[in-house]
Structure 1
């Protein structure tokens, strides 16, 4: 891995993104004219109350959901111009995903779970890179185990390794510590922050937890589908204070 620094270039950018579900009287606007760029090589958290648009923001950034209007750029690639097959191929190559549910296949070993995205893409593992990833996330001695033989924290580390094995431009984490106890959750958050600080990996994390958000370089706030500010070098106290004032936006 090559050490990186927080730069000004954007790994992903949303431009005037609007996302409406349904139509007529039942229409719900999940995102409303959102324009923001996520810095390459930075750890960004997204927060907001339930229904603020956090999940839709992540899904649009990942190309899992198409905006009703506006566009999403992954690097220089405009996702709105891609057909579904091309979007699927792009996600496999350029985006890694970590979810609250680890989504590991119980019949496969740790190694097989980690390399599954490469198998889907018809690629062979780079053994040196695989070793570096599993060593970094702390599971190099668990490659022959199956998920049922691992703790929750170890399973989430496997999921992070799986997300990193394709060398993604962007790693998306959706409540990655939601199923973990406090101590294990903080270990996983520390791992994510270390990956950003030492390798230049870009991470976007959706969370409801002010402590989790404090591991990020910056926190974006959403309210009623709109951007409601950003803070840098967050602390749990700063995050809580801003959350209590979202109604002012």
Structure 2
């Protein structure tokens, strides 16, 4: 559901990120420039140490670039003060992590509604019902995380990320802790969310099969964006990663 001609949902302009000083300096990102259109699904891939996690952290406003700009729509988030950045992440960005990050003492419903509780706001009940239906959790809302399978817990995490209607959802290895069947269920769910709601998804993964659910794969190596692949397949992604490893 990419909107042609629209302002990019997310863009990075000549972003660098360095850690440390002197001989110990680590160049995690080196002049990365990319624009991601609204309603798109993008996978980020690369060898260990390529800068995937740093890319996600800078794009999501969890880390500040050393230089360059990060934009969410027309807002340059890399220049925001910490308080405004916190509010922006709460209202305009969603997160799905490998470890689910659910509160054990809360039910699935209360975990999903936690962002509203923290913000002191009321949820849109119609949208809440739609999100619960899309994630297949209608019969599981009263269960606590320990009473759910890993795949169901990740569905709760996805629902929590979507319920605030964020402009961009970031997923960090969302299937890394799941078995193959549960992982595929979650990936199909993420694909359905992008196609059905027009929300923008950026996913870091090491799995070519997972990456192939996206519209486009971006490949990082040594902190540099080295390639992009449209309409990926698992085999094409795996072949490209093999060439990078070689």
| TM-score (norm. length: structure 2) | 0.97
1:20-78 residue CA offsets vs partner (Å, 9 max, x unmatched): 00111110000000000112101000000000000000000001000000010000000
Question: Structure 1 pair 204/8, CA: closer, same or farther in 2 (3 Å)?
Answer: farther
Q: How does 1:103-142 map to 2 (within 5 A)?
A: 103-142=101-140
Distance in structure 2 (CA, Å) of the matches to 1:32 and 1:89 = 28
The equivalent of 1:210 in structure 2 is: 208
Conserved? CA contact 1:8–1:40, under 8 Å: no
The equivalent of 1:219 in structure 2 is: 217
Conserved? CA contact 2:2–2:37, under 8 Å: no
Task: Report SS of the residue matched to 2:18.
Answer: strand
Conserved? CA contact 2:15–2:30, under 8 Å: yes
Q: How does 1:159-170 map to 2 (within 5 A)?
A: 159-170=157-168
> Displacement, 1:135?
0.5
Conserved? CA contact 2:135–2:159, under 8 Å: yes
Please tell me whether residue 246 in structure 1 is matched to residue 229 in structure 2: no
Distance in structure 1 (CA, Å) of the matches to 2:140 and 2:244 = 44
Please tell me whether residue 7 in structure 1 is matched to residue 34 in structure 2: no
> Displacement, 1:121?
1.2
> Displacement, 1:127?
1.1
Distance in structure 2 (CA, Å) of the matches to 1:194 and 1:211 = 16
Q: How does 1:148-159 map to 2 (within 5 A)?
A: 148-159=146-157
Of 32, 56, 70, the residue aligned with 1:58 is: 56
Question: Structure 1 pair 177/122, CA: closer, same or farther in 2 (3 Å)?
Answer: same
> Displacement, 1:6?
4.8
Aligned length: 245
Structure 1 runs, 4 residues or longer, greater than 4 Å off:
none
> Displacement, 1:8?
4.6
Task: Report SS of the residue matched to 1:44.
Answer: strand
> Displacement, 1:141?
1.2
Distance in structure 1 (CA, Å) of the matches to 2:212 and 2:200 = 16
The equivalent of 2:194 in structure 1 is: 196
The equivalent of 1:49 in structure 2 is: 47
Distance in structure 2 (CA, Å) of the matches to 1:193 and 1:62 = 20
Extract unaligned runs of 5+ from structure 2. none
| TM-score (norm. length: structure 1) | 0.96
Conserved? CA contact 1:100–1:176, under 8 Å: yes
Extract unaligned runs of 5+ from structure 1. none
Pairwise CA RMSD: 1.1
The equivalent of 1:145 in structure 2 is: 143
Distance in structure 1 (CA, Å) of the matches to 2:21 and 2:67 = 14
Of 75, 95, 98, the residue aligned with 2:96 is: 98
> Displacement, 1:160?
0.2
Distance in structure 1 (CA, Å) of the matches to 2:56 and 2:231 = 21
